[in-house]
Amino acid sequence: MKVFRALKVVMTALIVLASLGIYSGRAYAHERRMVGAYQFVVGWLTEPAYLGQLNSLDLRITDTRQNPAAPVSGLEKTLTADVAAGGLTPFPLAVTARFG
């Protein structure tokens, strides 16, 4: 009887683990979006973002007309960004280049 009970516990655990794998989708921290010939990848620099902790915008824009795709430089001179969550008033962010 103990063998059947142990087998039942193991089988139940395997079924639960298998169902978690089936029903849990992947959450991507950064969103990719094509805008014309440009690919935007946007998210938070530190993922996951927590309330009360400093964070910053992580934005990459590449020109897909080139092979290989090349980063678009100089956008920090004209690009503006606002962040809003939960129906709050949008908050403007300063945009600066991190690489190059």
Instruction: Report if pTM > 0.85.
Output: no
More confident call, 29 vs 43: 43
Q: Cβ(38)–Cβ(13) under 8 Å?
A: no
Q: How many Cβ atoms are within 10 Å of 5's Cβ, its own excluded?
A: 9
- Residue-wise pLDDT for 3-41, tens only, equals 667 666 656 665 655 555 555 555 567 899 999 999 999
What is residue 19's predicted lDDT score, i.e. its pLDDT? 58
